[in-house]
Every structure is written in C-alpha cells, then in structure tokens.
C-alpha cells in the first residue's frame, strides 16, 4: 500500500471517536435548541468545522456555532452566547476571537461554542466568523466520499511537510483551504500534478489576475469573491508544497521524514537573546518576536558584525539566535560626507581634518566628500543595550526590554532555538 495512504490510516479517528463526536454534537445541539425555544430566542445551533464536514483527522474538536437572527445586536448575541455556552459546557472558560466564546471539554473532547449572525451566501457579514457556517454548507454540498478521502489525504500530506495550519507561526494552509483545493482540482493527484509544475503563484481559479493580490497564494473564497482565502500562506510554505509535490511524483518519500544532522563549528559566531514570553496567544506574540529578530539583525549589520542568519523560537520563552561573522567591529570607517555643492561640505572638511580620528582625506568620490576615520569600536553588549533602550521592541515585549539576556553560544549548549537552527531542513 502506498506510503501516504498508510500514513492516512494512522491519522483517521477510530469508530469510537467518530461515534462520540456525533453523540456529543447532537446532544449539544439538542440542548441549545431547547434553551432557545424556552427563552424565545431566534437562533439556530449549527455544527461547523471539520467534524461537520467529515474531513476530520484524529483528535479533532467540536465547533458549534449559535447563529442568531440579524435582528439582534452584537452585545445581545455575545451575552446570550456566553450564557448558553456556560450552561452547556460545565467546565467551559471564556476565550476571545472576534466574539467572546466558551471553550470546554466533554468526555475529553474539546468543544467550542461560538455566537455568530445568521448569514445567507452573498449577504453582508458582520464579523468573519459569520462566514464559517457558509463554508460548512459549501463543502458539504460539493464533496462526495472520494473527495472527502482526498481532502483527508491532502491534510495528512500538508501535516507531513509542515505546512498545515493558518496560525501566524505556521503561515500554512488551513483545513478549509485543503477542502477548497480538492473541490477545485477534483482529486489529490490532480492537485499535486498542478503543484509540481507550478512556477509562480498558486491561483484558484487558475486564471485569476495575479497582480490583484500581492500574496503568493490566491484562493478566492467560493462563498465570498472579495476574499483571498489563501492570504495567510507564506512564500516558503508555497515553495515547500511545490517541492514536496515534485518529490511525491518522483516517489521520493524519504526527504519528507529526514531531519538535518547537527554540524557545529561553522566558523561563525552565535549570540542568543532570551526573554520572558508574555502570556498572550502566539498569533500576537510571534510576529512581535519576528520583528524583534529583524531589529537585532539590523543592529549587528549597522555596526559591522556581519550577521548571516537568524532563527526564532517562541514557546515557553522567546529565544532569538543571530549568527554573525565578525567578532569585533571594524577599525576603519569610510565615512560619507555631504555632496560637494552643499554648504555642509566645507563644514564637514573643517571638522574632520582636525579630528584625531582622521585616517585619510578628506577626499572626493563621485560628487561627495569622504573621510576615512578610526571607528569607535565597542563591545556588542554595550551598544546593544544602548540601541535596544531607544527602540520600540513590540507592544507586548517592551516591558521586558531589560530582561533580555544575551548568551554567547558555545558548542553543546541546549536551547530550543539552537536545535531549531541546526536542524533546519526542507520541511522543518
């Protein structure tokens, strides 16, 4: 049996799980219906998410949307939604997406109960969650057992090559995108064939003008022609999918599972910056950590330490690794002055030619005045503290500015970001 089909088997829920999912969902829907009937609330509970579409892999959660009439106010549905959620989920806690909602477990299965407005296809949505029931309806109307099988296969494939999930830290393909892609291309094989020959952006429909969206993946949402459902997918993940499709077609599976071996002694230097991780979801913290990483990279660059690569880990704490080629700042600074025609040029000459730091010049290159001067060489840690002091490092990270710890990496140190850095590989 083919490798991917075998892998799929190990990812499918067993009969017990499937029965539990159905029983629990039916039970919740029954409860909500009777609550609404009693309280005369115009609302319908709808099961959404992969379970409702039969495209669920093992250990899925149950998503129940309570769709309220558009006559109600947002405040009303949020208040009632939480009330009903807590009634149904005894151990539920409140979470927040676009509306607050209740999240809990029944028989070890996660359940979310989310309020939304009742929307028909083509109607104006109030918040993006309102679209979810339309997605469920679309998928259910356009799939059959073969397509469902191929959707599951695609999800397993996406997981295998680490491009599954729309969280920012992943920036991959959501379950809904897998469904839309199989519906559009008809089968897993067709889609993989398409990907293996694709040079530019992934577009669905394929003739959609690529300049309309700047993102590398353009998948027009079948229930909303003004939305690019593929906007969250990164260039790298699209590239991984293309390469993986080529490997799949050539029958070369080993690369999917391989991990990089660790080779230290790269002839470079590595510093690691660690800081506490605020208790806020990944989708908010991760982009801030990435921006901080870029800022650190720029500091290395600005002072001539020649950074060459970096890595970020955002888990229990935040760890940023910067690899660089130069341990000390350059002693020589070729200092560009103003254009010769400006009044600043003579000032620049007068100042620098008396300077103790002057090594050569002033001289003229192109149409500017230059001097070669002795650089103010400093240790990285000193200038780093000064630079970081005057930098905004992110809304939720700023308060931890003074808690950033700078580690000079030495071979063998155990840190998540080091493991991630050294084992960087095609699909990890």
Q: Between 79 and 194, whose beta carbon lies closer to its own copies?
A: 194
Contact stretch for its own copies (CB under 8 A) within 4-12, 122-130, 171-179, 332-340? 332-340
Contact between 325 and its own copies by CB under 8 A: the answer reads: yes
Contact between 194 and its own copies by CB under 8 A: the answer reads: no
Residue 211 makes CB contacts below 8 A (sequence gap 6+) with: none
Contact stretch for its own copies (CB under 8 A) within 74-82, 96-104, 127-135, 351-359? 351-359
Q: Print the binding letters for residues 255-284 with its own copies: x by CB under 8 A, - otherwise.
A: x--x-xx-x--xxx----------------
Which CA distances in Å does 407 have to 147, 271, 371, 389, 410? 51, 6, 36, 18, 9
Instruction: With CA atoms as reference, report the closest residue to 132 among 179, 171, 188.
Output: 179
CB 328 within 8 A of CB 362: no
Helix-then-strand count for the chain, H and E? 14, 15
Using CA atoms, how far apart are residues 181 and 151, in angstroms rounded to an integer? 8
User: Which one of 10, 14, 341, 402 is in contact with its own copies (CB under 8 A)?
Assistant: 341
The 8-class DSSP code of residue 261 comes to P
Contact stretch for its own copies (CB under 8 A) within 60-68, 366-374, 393-401, 402-410? 366-374
Judged by CB under 8 A, the chain residues 81 through 100 that form the site for its own copies are none
Token pair belonging to 248: 């799949």
User: Which one of 331, 378, 403, 419 is in contact with its own copies (CB under 8 A)?
Assistant: 331
Contact stretch for its own copies (CB under 8 A) within 55-63, 132-140, 275-283, 324-332? 324-332
> Could you tell me the smallest distance in angstroms from the CB atom of residue 342 to its own copies?
9
Contact stretch for its own copies (CB under 8 A) within 5-13, 108-116, 254-262, 378-386? 254-262
Judged on CB neighbours under 10 Å (0-12, 13-18, 19+), 326 is middle
Strand duo 368-374 + 358-365: pairing: antiparallel
Q: Between 12 and 346, whose beta carbon lies closer to its own copies?
A: 346
Q: Between 395 and 424, whose beta carbon lies closer to its own copies?
A: 424
Q: Between 148 and 329, whose beta carbon lies closer to its own copies?
A: 329
First to last CA, the chain: 26
> Could you tell me the smallest distance in angstroms from the CB atom of residue 181 to its own copies?
17
Using CA atoms, how far apart are residues 211 and 214, in angstroms rounded to an integer? 6
Judged on CB neighbours under 10 Å (0-12, 13-18, 19+), 290 is middle
Sites of contact with its own copies (CB under 8 A): 196-199, 235-236, 238-240, 242-243, 246-247, 250, 252, 255, 258, 260-261, 263, 266-268, 308-309, 325, 330-332, 334, 339-341, 343, 345-346, 349, 353, 358-369, 372, 374-375, 422, 424-426
């Amino acid at each position: 049996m083919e490798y991917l089909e075998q892998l799929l088997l190990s990812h499918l829920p067993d009969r017990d799980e499937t029965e539990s999912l159905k029983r629990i969902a039916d039970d919740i829907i029954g409860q909500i219906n009777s609550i609404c009937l009693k309280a005369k609330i115009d609302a319908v509970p709808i099961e959404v998410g992969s379970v409702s579409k039969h495209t669920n892999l093992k250990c899925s959660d149950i998503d129940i949307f309570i769709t309220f009439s558009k006559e109600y106010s947002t405040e009303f549905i949020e208040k009632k939604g939480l009330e009903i959620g807590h009634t149904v989920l005894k151990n539920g806690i409140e979470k927040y997406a676009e509306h607050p909602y209740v999240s809990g477990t029944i028989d070890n299965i996660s359940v979310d109960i989310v309020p939304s407005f009742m929307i028909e296809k083509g109607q104006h949505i109030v918040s993006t969650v309102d679209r979810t029931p339309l997605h469920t309806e679309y998928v259910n109307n356009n799939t059959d057992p073969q397509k469902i099988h191929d959707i599951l296969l695609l999800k397993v494939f996406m997981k295998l090559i680490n491009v599954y999930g729309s969280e920012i830290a992943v920036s991959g393909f959501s379950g809904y995108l897998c469904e839309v892609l199989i519906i559009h291309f008809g089968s897993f094989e067709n889609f993989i064939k398409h990907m293996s020959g694709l040079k530019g952006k992934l577009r669905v429909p394929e003739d959609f003008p690529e300049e309309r969206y700047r993102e590398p993946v353009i998948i027009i949402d079948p229930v909303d022609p003004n939305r690019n459902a593929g906007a969250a997918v990164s260039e790298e993940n699209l590239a991984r999918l293309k390469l993986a499709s080529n490997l799949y077609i050539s029958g070369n599976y080993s690369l999917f599972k391989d991990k990089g071996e660790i080779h230290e002694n790269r002839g470079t230097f590595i510093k690691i910056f660690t800081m506490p991780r605020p208790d806020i979801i990944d989708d908010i913290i991760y982009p801030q950590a990435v921006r901080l990483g870029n800022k650190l990279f720029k500091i290395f660059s600005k002072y001539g330490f020649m950074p060459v690569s970096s890595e970020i880990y955002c888990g229990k704490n935040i760890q940023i690794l910067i690899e660089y080629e130069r341990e000390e700042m350059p002693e020589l600074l070729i200092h560009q002055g103003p254009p010769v025609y400006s009044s600043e040029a003579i000032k620049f000459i007068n100042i620098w030619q008396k300077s103790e730091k002057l090594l050569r010049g002033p001289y003229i290159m192109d149409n500017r005045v230059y001097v070669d001067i002795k650089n103010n060489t400093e240790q990285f840690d000193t200038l780093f503290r000064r630079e970081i002091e005057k930098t905004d490092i992110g809304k939720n990270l700023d308060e931890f500015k003074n808690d950033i710890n700078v580690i000079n990496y030495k071979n063998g140190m155990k840190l998540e970001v080091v493991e991630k850095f050294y084992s960087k590989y095609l699909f990890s």
